Amino acid sequence: MINVSNDTALRIIGPFVLYAFVGFFFRLDWYFILPLKTLIQNDLIAFTAGMVCWQIARWVVLRIQRHLPGLSNTPKRLLVLLLLLPILANFAWLLRHSARFLIDGQFLYFRTAVELSRTLGIQLFYHFVYYVIYEGGYILREWQRAYVEREELEKSNLQTQLSSLQHQVNPHFLFNSLNSVSALIGENPQQAEEFVEELSSVYRYLLRANEENLTSLATELEFIRSYCHLLQTRHGDSLQLVMNVAPHYQQYQLPPLTLQLLVENAVKHNVILPDKPLFIHITTTDTADLVVSNNLQRRTVRVQSNGLGLNNILTKYRVMGHNEPTVQEQAGQFVVTLPLMVE
C-alpha cells in the first residue's frame, strides 16, 4: 500500500512507467511517421510534463483528503475529483503543447479531430491513474484502519463482558448450599462436614477460575464432581451425572466453569424428581469435542432466566477466537457441543 507521505521514488518512476508502457502504445503509429528528432523531443516533453502533472494531481488529491477526511466523505471526495478531472487533463494537454510551441513554434501537431481527442483521452487516462494510486490507496488505508478499530472495539467490549461474567457468583446456589448445610448439621453432622469440604473446594475453584482463561478438562471434571456432589445432597438420586471421557483428552483445555454453567442451566430449567430423574451426560467425541447433554423435562412453571449461562460460554469462546459451541435440542435431549482446545 502506498505511503503518500514518503513516495519520492514513486513520483519519479511513475511518470516514466506510465509513458513507457501506456503512452507508447497510444502513440505507436507516430513512431513510423515522425522524424527521430521530433520523437525525442516529444518523449522528453511527455516525460517532463508527466512528472509535473503527477505532482499537481497528487497535491490536489491530498489537499481534498485533508479537507474531506475519512471513509464517510469518500463520495464527496470522488465527486470533487470527478469535477476537477477535465480541468487537470486539459491543463496537462495545454502544458505539453505549450512546451512544444516553445521548442519549435508549432502548437498543434496533429492533423485530425481524432488525433486531438486521442491526446486529450491520454491525459484523462493518466489522471485517472493518479486518482487510483492516491485516492484508492487512501480509501484502502482508511478502510483498514476502521476495520482494525472496529475489531479492537468489539474485542474490548467482549473482554469487558467476559470479565463481568467471570466475576458473577450465583447467589441462589450459595443460598441453597447454606440451607443444605443448615439442614444437615442437625440430621447428619458427618454428611454436613463432607458437604462443607466440597463447598470449600468448589469456591476455591471459583475464585481461582476467575483469573484464568483456560483450564484442563481433567481439572474441570474434578470440579464438576464436587459441584454435583453438592447438588446431589439436595436432590439425591434424582440427579445423575454420567461421564464418559476418553483419557487422552484429559489435558485438552476449555474455559473454566463451562461445565458448571451447563449443569446449573440443566438443574434450573428441568424437573428433578425421584420418578423423573435428571440425567446429565458428559462425553467426548473422536473430533475432540466435549458433548454435554441432559434429558428435557421442562418445569411447568416458567423459570425466570436472562440467558447469562449460555451467553457466558459463547462469549468466552468468541473472545479467545475459537470455534463457538453449538446448542441444539434433539430426540428429547438438550445438547451442547464444546470444542476442546489443544494446550
In the block, residue with C-alpha cell 430449567: 269
Scanning 105-170, the segments in alpha helix (DSSP H) are 113-131, 137-166
Element (H, E) at 92: helix 74-104
- The pLDDT assigned to 151 comes to 78
Scanning 236-330, the segments in alpha helix (DSSP H) are 258-269, 308-319
CB atoms within 10 A of CB 133: 19
- The pLDDT assigned to 319 comes to 75
Q: With left for phi above 0 and alpha for psi between -120 and 50, is residue 333 left, alpha or beta?
A: beta
- The pLDDT assigned to 5 comes to 45
- The pLDDT assigned to 110 comes to 56
CA dihedral of residues 195, 198, 202, 203 (deg, nearest 10): 70
- The pLDDT assigned to 11 comes to 67
- The pLDDT assigned to 312 comes to 77
| List of residues 6+ apart from 112 with CB closer than 8 A | none
Written as nine digits, the cell of 87 is 480541468
- The pLDDT assigned to 231 comes to 85
- The pLDDT assigned to 335 comes to 95
Dihedrals φ, ψ of 297, to 5°? -150, 75
- The pLDDT assigned to 70 comes to 86
Question: What is the mean pLDDT for each group of 10 consecutive residues in the chain (343 residues)?
Answer: 56 65 56 56 70 86 90 90 89 78 61 66 82 88 85 65 54 66 73 79 73 86 88 88 93 89 89 93 94 91 63 80 88 94 80
